Structure 1
């Protein structure tokens, strides 16, 4: 039963942090940030909050600095909303899975286009 609690806490933190990011934070560095997931350690002391931005090249570093500066505020706000004795420390990490998925999608499209080109070349030769 104890293995399920970190998942529930992670879901609650995800929901509340996403709401706070939309409505409670005025820092323009974190405006383009989307929260993609949260994992919480088994002892509930650390919460890794995964995020992504639309334009990784220009916005990622600013977003990381902005998130680091608003982390104490977010933790205080979570303490007021979530009923726990100790609120986990928030650590923000860039979610690489979005970019990885996009890269795989591009490769699959390229393979599909190559196969179409091969089919048209074969039919033209006949």
Structure 2
């Protein structure tokens, strides 16, 4: 499969999953969430969607559970909108890079205060 097509589909999946979560899912367990990235295999069968979650650890766990329970709906909607033969299976993973960046920033600020 062409690399350009795969990248376009990844971006499309990222945008559509974000829109579905924002506008269509009404699960009260879903907290503040941002879709940060989407990766899809070359055969377009499996997609991994990375989400940045905010809140306590319990709230983050509840949000991931809600996303996993809505996985079938999200997959069918993405498949309809994508218009390809097979809609990819979607797996949600937490993107911890924002938390890591905030931790590094705090460490740097603490070092700056000590100097």
Q: Between Structure 1 and Structure 2, whose CA radius of gyration is higher?
A: 1
1:98 counterpart SS class: helix
CA distance in 2, matches of 1:6, 1:29: 32
Count matched residues.
115
Q: Which residue of 2 aligns with 1:102?
A: 102
**TM-score of the aligned structures, taking structure 1 as reference length:** 0.85
CA distance in 2, matches of 1:52, 1:58: 14
Query: Any residues of structure 2 matched to 1:32-111 within 5 Å, and which?
Result: 32-111=32-111
Normalized per residue, the structure richer in helix is: 1
CA distance in 2, matches of 1:31, 1:25: 11
**TM-score of the aligned structures, taking structure 2 as reference length:** 0.92
Unpaired runs of 5+ in structure 1?
Answer: 116-126
Q: Which residue of 2 aligns with 1:8?
A: 8
